[in-house]
Amino acid sequence: MRIESFLRGMALMAALQACGPQAEPVVPELNGALAQDIGRLSIKKADPSVIRVGSTYISAETEGGRLYVRMASSVDALASAARQQVWGNPNNLAEVWAPELIKDGTTYYIYFTAGAGSAHRMYYIQSQSPNTSYSREVLMALPENKWAIDGTAFIYKGQRYFVWSGWVGDTNGEQTLFIARMSSPTTVTGPRYVIAQPREWWEKVDVNPPTRVDEGPEPIIDPNGQLHIVYSANGSWDTNYCLADLRLKAGGDPTYVWDWYKSNGCLFGANGGIMMSGWHPTLYAKGVGHHSFVLLGRSSGGGTSRTPGARRATRAGA
C-alpha cells in the first residue's frame, strides 16, 4: 500500500488512534487494512481519549480539573455512557489537559498535563481497573524539567519511548516535539531529543497572536512497518490548526532528528491554503487537532481515540 493512501486513510478516520490488547502497549498498526469509517466520539468535554480492550471501548476525559472514564461497547455509545470520576485533583493542580489512556499488561495508565502557565508538567495515575481505584498523581521526571504537555508512551521495535510537546528553554517561544527513551511505562531514561520544530511556512501562519506550535504527537505504524508521529500544528483556537506527519525512515533511529521526514503541508485541516499538494480541506471543521486513530469494528486490537475539535476547552473552537 502506498504511504499516500495510508495517510489519506488516517484523515478519513477522523483522528482516531489504535493500540492493541497485547501484554505491552504498542504503536497502533494498520496491518495493511484501511478503515473507511469516520468515528464520531461526540463527547463534548475536553480532550476525550479512548482505548479498546477486547470489545469494550474505554474513554478518558477532563472537566473542571478532574479526570473521568466512560465504558461502552462502541465509540458511538461512549457519549451517552455514564462517566465515573477516577481522579479528583486533591492538590488542586491548575489547567489539567489532555489525558492519554493506555493499558500495559494488567495496568491502566492515564498521562496528563497540569500546571499554570510556565509550570505545565506531565503527570500520571495508574490502576488495575480502567474506571476505579487510580493512584494519586505522580509527577513524571522528564529530562531537563521544562514546560511539557501532550505526552504519551509507546513501544517501537522493543524499545519504550515517551513523546511530548514542550519548550526548549524556560520561556514560551515555540513548542517543540521531543522524544526520550523509557525503561518502564512511568520512567524516562537518558536525554530528550528534538524531532520536530514549527519551522515550515505552513506551521507559522497564525499572526494574531503569532503562534509557533507543534503539539499533540501520536504514534502509528503504517503497513510498511514505518513509524509515524502525526501531530498538530498552529494554534488550536482557529482554522489553521491541522494535522501533519513525521515519518521515520526505514531503519531510522527515533531519537535522531535527521531520520524523520516531515510532510510538505497539512494532511487534515480546514484551511486549504496550508494543505499538502493534492490534499483537500475538511469542510465545517475548526480546531482539528490532537487526534488519535482506531480501526473501528475490527475484532483484533484495541484502540485509542481523540476527536478533532475537542482540544483544550480553554482554547479550542470545538
Please write the tens of the pLDDT for every residue from 259-318.
999 999 999 999 999 999 999 998 777 777 777 676 676 443 344 444 333 332 222 222
In a domain? residue 313: no
Alpha carbon of 81 to those of 56, 85, 105, 241: distances in Å? 12, 13, 25, 29
- Ranges 29-43, 68-82, 119-133, most confident: 119-133
- Residue 236 near residue 287, CB atoms below 8 Å: yes
Residue 119 sits in which domain range? 3-305
> Of the candidates 239, 213, 242, which has an alpha carbon nearest to the alpha carbon of residue 230?
242
Q: Which residue has the cell 485509542?
A: 304
pLDDT value of residue 124 = 98
Per-residue pLDDT band for 52 (boundaries 50, 70, 90) equals confident
In a domain, 318, yes or no: no
Task: Give a yes or no: residue 231 inside a domain.
Answer: yes
Task: Confirm whether 317 is domain-assigned.
Answer: no
Residue 165 lies in a domain: yes
Mean of the per-residue pLDDT values for the chain?
A: 82
- The pLDDT tens digits of the residues spanning 56-96 come to 989 999 999 999 999 999 888 988 999 999 999 999 999 99
Where residue 15 falls among pLDDT bands split at 50, 70, 90? Answer: very low
Report the C-alpha gap between 121 and 107 in whole angstroms: 22
**pTM, rounded to two decimals:** 0.84
Strands (E), the chain: 16-18, 46-53, 56-63, 66-72, 83-87, 97-104, 107-114, 121-127, 138-139, 148-156, 159-166, 176-184, 187-196, 214-221, 227-233, 242-248, 260-262, 268-269, 303-305
**pLDDT score of 223:** 86
- Distance, in Å, from the CA atom of 192 to the CA atom of 163, rounded to the nearest integer, reads 9
CATH number of domain containing 46: 2.115.10.20
For 46, list phi and psi in degrees, rounded to 5: -75, 140
In total, how many domains does the chain have?
1
Confirm whether 26 is domain-assigned: yes
Phi and psi, residue 108, nearest 5°: -100, 135
Give me the DSSP letters along 260-285: EEE-SSBSEES-GGGBPTT--PPTT-
